[in-house]
Structure formats: C-alpha cells, structure tokens
Structure 1
Amino acid sequence: MDLLVASNIALWIGFIAMAVINYALVRQIGVLYERVAPAGALMVNRTVEVGQSAPQLQALTVENEQIAIGGETGRSQLLFFMSPDCPVCNELTPSVLSAARAEQDWIDVLFVSDGDEQDHAGYRARKSITQPYVVSELIGKQYGVSKLPYAVLIDEHGKIASLGIVNSREHVESLFEAKERNVASIQDYLSQRDGERFVEVK
C-alpha cells in the first residue's frame, strides 16, 4: 500500500514538473517568435521618402496606352519594379499578380521595367500579366530604384505610403500592412511596439 502511495506521489510530481517545463517552453517560443518576426520590405531609398508626394509622371505601356503615375486618384497604386532577366522577379511575379487580384478593390498594380532590348511582350504573355506594363528607365530614376525587385506603394492621395526591396510575397504584403498601420515600414512598427513595451516595463 505504501508503495502505491509513493508511486502516485512520484507521478504527480512528474506531472507538475512537466507542466512547468511546458509553460516555460511556450513562453520561450513566444519570445523567439517576436525576435524573428517578419522584417518586411527593406527600405534603402534616399531619393523619395514615405509621406512625401509621389513624383507624378505620364508613361506609355507596352500596348502604347497612356497611363498616369502618382497624383490624387482616389485609388492606391503599387509600382512593381522588375526585369525579365531577374530570377527573383521571375519567382515573385505570380505572387504580385495574386496580390493584385486579392486587393483589386482599392489598388492598381503597375509593372515597371527597363531595357528596350529585352522581350517584355513575351515575358508579359508568359506570365499572363494583364496589368499595365511600362518600359521606362526614367520612372526608376525618379523613384530612386537601385535594386530589384522593388516596390513603391502610393496611396489614394498621391503620397508614398511605403516602399522597399521585395523578395517574397510577405514583403509585398508588408507594404500594405505598413499603409494600414500608418507607419513607414514594418520595421518601424516593430520598433515602436518594442519601445512602448520598454516604457511600460520601466
């Protein structure tokens, strides 16, 4: 009988110890998740900044249609700077097209490339791009694009809402998230949140 009681006590002690260990693990996983939170699109631009008016330009698409970039139109614009010979752009294009369909109620997506010698029409057909496709070196210079793939989100008032290098769909969606939260970037949002927590703890 004494052996049975002792075994039950040992089992309960083991159960409580496991519960404490699991609780500690859950807390550590939460801390780790915050530390490796998605960084969002990387901002490396010094030509234009979030909050300023986007350069207003007129451009011709590959189908010879006039299109306006920037300005207060009542709808947001996403400028996706890419190149047919850029492997990352190639992989990301379907995600951009998917995002364009998912967010079509409030945003217009524009593909921007350069290099007249490239097969832009063929690339557009292969990728089933129905959005406006512009070949213009000037637009990239006006928006300070130095690396690809790159994206600039212009809000409905013609202001730059967010921008940065985009290497994944998560990076593209981080531009939308930054606009929604009214911050320059997801990095800024995480920094503000961490700062608020520091003040609360202090």
Structure 2
Amino acid sequence: MSDTITLLYAQSVIWLVVFGLCAVIALMFRRVRAFYRRIAPLGALAPTAATIAHLPTTFLRSFSGSEVTAGGSREDGRPQLLVFVSGSCPVSRKMVPIVDDFARRERLSLLYCGDESDEAQKRTIATLGLSESGFVNDAAIGRLLGVDRVPFAVLLDPTGTVQARGLVNNLEHLESLLGVQETGYRSLQGFMTANPRALTG
C-alpha cells in the first residue's frame, strides 16, 4: 500500500513539473513575441552617400555590345533595379538567382553592373551565370550612385529618381528597397536618423 501511495506522489510531482514547464514555455513565447514586435526590421544598408538623387538617361554598352540605358524616363513605365556584383564575391554568387527571381516577381527592369577589367568581367559573367546583354562594366555609374561594396542594389523609379539603395545580402534586403518607398526615406539610415526611437518602441 505504501508503495502505491509513493508512486502516486511521484506521478503527481512529475505532472506538476510538466505543467510548470509548459507555463514557463508559454510565458517565454509571449515575451519573445513582444520583443520581436519592438524590433524594427533591418533593411539594406547604404554605407556611403550617393552623388546624385536622380540618374538621367545614361547610355551604356553591355558586354554583348548592345546599347542599354540606365536611369531616365523609361518607356515601359517600370522601375529599374541596378545590381552591382563581382565574380570574386561569394555573396554575389548567392544573390544572383535571388535577384533574378525578385526582379521578375516585382516586374522590375534589371541591369547588372560591374567595375573591373574586361578580363575579370568575363570570368564574372561565367561564374555568376549572367547574360552578357544584361551586364555593363562601367566605373562611373557606380561612383555616381555611391557604390563602394558588393552586392549593392539601387532602385530607380520610372523617371530615374533614386528610390532606395544599399547592400543586399538576402531577399529581405531586396524587399526592404521597395518598403523604403512607402516610408519616403531612401535608406535605412535616413529612416533611423528621423526616427531615433524606432528600435525602442
């Protein structure tokens, strides 16, 4: 009889511990959710300032020899996404398929850009699997837009105005470029400067 009572006590203690653990987990889950809501989502970071806020129609020569345009008023009325990459950058290799899918889904006119020797760019095109007709090698446009690291993306509206820009290491960074248009700030830094308490709720 005493063994039965001892077993019942032991089972009761075990169930109390289980219920206690469930209560602690539920409390932690609520705290984590509350904490997550207070954290502002981080977007693409722009480490340097752009020289211009509007890119006029710029005629460039693609690697295939065809003429392409960057900036200015676009006849198709679509925003343009300029993405600066390098074949020696492992993050660029990861981002190319993500960028391709993102631009197709959001109906953006996509142009890849680089700033290296022609020989290096041949390797870049081969390494990243890019189309020669959709890739330009021009140092001047990168300087105008404040590009100093890759992969770097610049979103232009259909008139050539810079809407958003910054380093892009994942899909969320790309999506944040579109989100910047809704806030009216061209970079995450601009938003945080105007809203210093954004991270503290």
Of residues 72, 95, 99, the one that matches 1:96 is: 99
Q: After alignment, is 164-173 or 145-154 more displaced?
A: 164-173
2:10 corresponds to which residue? none
Q: After alignment, is 56-65 or 176-185 more displaced?
A: 176-185
Query: Structure 1, unaligned stretches of length 5 or more?
Result: 1-9
The 1:54/1:75 distance shift into structure 2, 3 A limit, reads same
Deviations 1:16-61 (A, max 9, x none): 9777645532331123323555411112222346xx3224421100
2:45 corresponds to which residue? 42
Counterpart CA distance in 2 for 1:24 and 1:188 is 36
1:113 corresponds to which residue? 114
Computed over aligned residues only, the root mean square deviation of the Cα atoms, in angstroms, reads: 3.6
Deviation at 1:79, TM superposition (A): 0.6
1:146 corresponds to which residue? 148
Q: Is the 8 A contact 1:47 1:144 kept in 2?
A: yes
Deviation at 1:15, TM superposition (A): 9.6
1:4 corresponds to which residue? none
Secondary structure of the structure 1 residue equivalent to 2:165: strand
Give the letter for the 2:179 counterpart: E
Q: Is the 8 A contact 1:81 1:148 kept in 2?
A: yes
TM-score by length of 1: 0.74
Deviations 1:114-147 (A, max 9, x none): 2224343454345443461001111111212111
Q: After alignment, is 142-151 or 18-27 more displaced?
A: 18-27
Query: Structure 2, unaligned stretches of length 5 or more?
Result: 1-12
Give the letter for the 1:60 counterpart: R
Of residues 68, 75, 80, the one that matches 2:78 is: 75
TM-score by length of 2: 0.74
Kindly, what percent of the aligned residue pairs are identical? 28
Of residues 161, 169, 175, the one that matches 2:171 is: 169
Counterpart CA distance in 2 for 1:16 and 1:157 is 61
Q: After alignment, is 145-154 or 169-178 more displaced?
A: 169-178
2:130 corresponds to which residue? 129
The 1:119/1:179 distance shift into structure 2, 3 A limit, reads same
1:25 corresponds to which residue? 28
